[in-house]
Structure 1
Amino acid sequence: MAFSVNTNQGAFLALQSLSNTNSQLATTQNRISTGLEVASVRDDSATFLIAQNQRSDLAGINAARSSLDRAQSTLDVATDAAEAIDDLLIEAREIAVQVQDSGLDSASVSSLNNDFGAIVSQIDSIVGQAEFNGTNLINGSGQNLDAITGVDRAGTISRISVGGQDLTTAGATATAASVTVDGDVTINSGGGATDIVDETSAGTAVASFDANVRNNTDFLQAIVDNGLDTDGVIAVDANGNATGLDFANSGATFNDGGAGVNDTIAFNFGTTTFTLTTNDTTVAPSGGLADADTAGNITNVAVTGTAQVVADVTNGVTLTDVTLNSIDFNTADSRNAAVQVVDNFRSQLSTVLSTLGSSSQQISLQSEFASNLSDSIEVGIGNLVDADLSREAASLQALQVQQQLGLQAAGIANQAPGSILALFR
């Protein structure tokens, strides 16, 4: 190799080696400081883009996890409230059964009515407070729960939806669409004589209702309101209020029970049979409540003195759309309907609880899956871009030594042209 002061090939080679070492050292130091082997598209474009797509998927999953967490909390609040309502309905049923005791005086009935009303108010209070993040699933406001479970690369969002319920005491869940209650109604004479049935001749069902009977129209009104009077034997006014019963067209039949035996009059309207039973405590027919003709047919049934006629609706009276908050023990039909209304509420509440419970379990499982999936993607991204720090630490030591050696080699190479001066001494 010729000596030249213009070209120092050894220095060039030493500088190239030193520059390469410095570049590798900078890369290693960057990996150690960031912890990433692929921190930029300049490091590895294919790997970096794959990692970025996975990060995008992970962001969607994390958003879904947040949505699922909120949904779970909302369902927990609704479920706790529904369970508390179920406990209160058990107490309400105990009171509703207790008030059926015919031996209770009016004060006791009123006290039980107050206790029942307090439970109804407490149920509505619980329903009103069962809210989380502005969502109440049980107050009948029409709010539904819509939890995001994930989103795919095409942008399609998957959801779990839970419909809202109405657990208010005036709502559909607390309403019995059809309640059959005891239709017994007692008609008292009030101390005077009251003709209930007056036949003009034997076997003819021609009768008259006086004001005392017509004023006891609760059971007749219920029959009219429920459309059971298909034969039209109940008289109604222009406002649809029941005013009495047309015996002549009711298919009435009479039965004289004999001495000391109750006499009965049965008539029907539509599918419901109605029976009047006299309280016959005297000798019939002449001394009893029922008078007969020579053939033994009842010609007159009267309420005299303190006697009673009990009107018994054989199939019961059907009331419709009875809500829990409309129950009033001071009203006979309402009191008799209480147990059925409470039982209906509890039956429908069981369905609501089942729906809330299964939805809660579904969201819990989805949340667990989303958490596991998030962890798996995190690990996958790490496998793609994370630096092996133990390996990078070893490389750092080696490159630092190579850098020192390169510097010394470059220094030696730079001194080579100076040796030419010895030739001119």
Structure 2
Amino acid sequence: MTSILTNVAAMAALSTLRSIETGMEDTQARVSSGLRVGEASDNAAYWSIATTMRSDNMALSAVQDALGLGAAKVDTAYAGMDSAIEVVKEIKAKLVAATEDGVDKDKIQEEITQLQDQLTSISDAASFSGENWLQTDLSFGTVTKSVVGSFVRDDAGNVSVKKVDYDLSASSVLFDTVGNTGILDSTTAIEDNSITLNINTGGVVSPVTVAAYTIDQVIADTGSVFTGDSATGGAKSYVKVSDDVWVEAVDQSTVPTQEVAFNDTTNGIMWAVDTTAAPAATTNASVSTLNIDASTTGTQLDKLISMVDDALTLMTSAAADLGSIGMRIDLQSEFVSKLTDSIDKGVGRLVDADMNEESTRLKALQTQQQLAVQSLSIANSASQNILTLFR
């Protein structure tokens, strides 16, 4: 049946044209944005995943920046520590040279003083972005420095920031800015002039700290005459209590309740320890403050060399730790970069449009649109044909 009131063919052609235009709008949106899922209405699940992962990628980008900053701090600290090691090696070499007989120790000390000033300069300068890992306040114990290492989302969706830690302690810091517990400013006893002995007096044994002397010091006491493990004739009398350790002695008859330390049968004298001989102050030194002169003994030089060598051992260990943490930061930075790329690829697989497919679909829809317009035109002209029936 042909009707001029209801054009069924035109209605069908118009419906088809509308459907094609809707398809073209969707396809053109994908072509222009490059996204197959551009909003939640396209695919709620994929859109949600992509939005979350893009947010995580932004966090990872911040992590990568933080890793770069951390790497700079570590590199600065390592450069300072490495330079300080070379300076301390020079100090050690100067001390070894000072053990040579006849050498001018005062001149050597002048060189050591310049090296000590250089150590201070290195420590002060090894700062990046306001942080110095070679000197800090250790009065409250170990100070932990952290570098942001990663942003993590676990299976339950919980997020956390992982950090790479480095401890500033007495074994890794060159200078303690408040006290003297750093590697270079911690003090060591160079000459301990005391010894603690357990003295039996009247049957009661109690510890007593008295002055201690080496055999060289006893010999230096002009007039000392040795008889076995005792020495007399100088300014003081001495008795040997252990290997190369001598203490001041008194005739045991003056302190009859004290046990005999040494029986000098040659001279018929029994010696006791002089418990009133107070020790002199202990001589301490640090790498940054040690000072030698003509009066510095060989024993003291040996202890100074040992002290500097111990400091070198700690500094080498600290440099190794800095090198290790620097390597870890480099590895983590590389991993974060790869992880970011992987997340970008994963998100792309979910929401990116296949441009080859979309271009083909757009071309087909354009053709369909032209045909639909042509079909609608034909359907609309059908009612015109009815006029020929009334001529």
- TM-score band by shorter chain is 0.7 to 0.9
Q: Could you say which residue in structure 2 is the equivalent of 1:163?
A: 167
CA contact (8 A) 2:239 2:247 kept: yes
1:403-422 correspondence to structure 2 within 5 Å: 403-422=369-388
2:246 and 2:41 mapped to 1: Cα distance?
A: 95
Q: Could you say which residue in structure 2 is the equivalent of 1:297?
A: 267
Larger radius of gyration: 1
1:324-339 correspondence to structure 2 within 5 Å: 324-330=287-293, 332=296, 335=301, 337-339=303-305
Q: Could you say which residue in structure 2 is the equivalent of 1:304?
A: none
Match of 1:135 among 125, 131, 138: 131
Q: Could you say which residue in structure 1 is the equivalent of 2:227?
A: 255
- Number of aligned residue pairs: 325
1:205-354 correspondence to structure 2 within 5 Å: 222-224=192-194, 231-234=208-211, 254-255=226-227, 266-268=238-240, 273-274=245-246, 297=267, 322-330=285-293, 332=296, 335=301, 337-354=303-320
1:228 and 1:420 mapped to 2: Cα distance?
A: 136
Give the C-alpha shift of residue 360 in structure 1: 1.6
Quickly say closer, same or farther: Cα 1:232–1:157, change in 2 above 3 A: closer
With normalisation by structure 1, the TM-score equals 0.68
CA contact (8 A) 1:254 1:265 kept: no
1:19-418 correspondence to structure 2 within 5 Å: 19-104=18-103, 108-141=104-137, 144-148=144-148, 149-152=150-153, 153-164=157-168, 165-168=172-175, 171-175=181-185, 178-179=188-189, 222-224=192-194, 231-234=208-211, 254-255=226-227, 266-268=238-240, 273-274=245-246, 297=267, 322-330=285-293, 332=296, 335=301, 337-418=303-384
Quickly say closer, same or farther: Cα 1:178–1:51, change in 2 above 3 A: same
Give the C-alpha shift of residue 274 in structure 1: 2.2
Partner SS for 2:133: coil
CA contact (8 A) 1:231 1:269 kept: no
2:107 and 2:133 mapped to 1: Cα distance?
A: 33
Give the C-alpha shift of residue 266 in structure 1: 4.3
Give the C-alpha shift of residue 268 in structure 1: 4.6
CA contact (8 A) 1:266 1:273 kept: no
Which stretch has the larger CA shift, 122-131 or 171-180?
Answer: 171-180
Structure 1: gaps of 5 or more residues: 182-221, 236-244, 246-251, 258-263, 277-294, 300-316
Q: Per-residue CA shift, 1:346-400, capped at 9, x if unaligned?
A: 0111221122122122222222222221111111001001111111111121111
Quickly say closer, same or farther: Cα 1:28–1:271, change in 2 above 3 A: same
Q: Per-residue CA shift, 1:187-223, capped at 9, x if unaligned?
A: xxxxxxxxxxxxxxxxxxxxxxxxxxxxxxxxxxx42
Partner SS for 2:127: coil
Letter in 1 for 2:383: P
CA contact (8 A) 1:175 1:341 kept: no
1:175 and 1:268 mapped to 2: Cα distance?
A: 35
2:7 and 2:283 mapped to 1: Cα distance?
A: 110
Letter in 2 for 1:168: F
CA contact (8 A) 1:144 1:162 kept: yes
Give the C-alpha shift of residue 232 in structure 1: 4.4
2:357 and 2:183 mapped to 1: Cα distance?
A: 67
Quickly say closer, same or farther: Cα 1:18–1:341, change in 2 above 3 A: same
2:110 and 2:196 mapped to 1: Cα distance?
A: 33
Give the C-alpha shift of residue 168 in structure 1: 2.7
Q: Per-residue CA shift, 1:109-141, capped at 9, x if unaligned?
A: 222112111111111111111112222111124
2:101 and 2:85 mapped to 1: Cα distance?
A: 27
2:225 and 2:268 mapped to 1: Cα distance?
A: 10
1:48 and 1:89 mapped to 2: Cα distance?
A: 61
Q: Could you say which residue in structure 1 is the equivalent of 2:201?
A: none
Structure 2: gaps of 5 or more residues: 199-206, 213-217, 219-223, 230-235, 249-264, 270-279
Partner SS for 2:163: strand
Quickly say closer, same or farther: Cα 1:74–1:82, change in 2 above 3 A: same
1:27 and 1:265 mapped to 2: Cα distance?
A: 110
Percent of aligned pairs sharing the same letter: 26
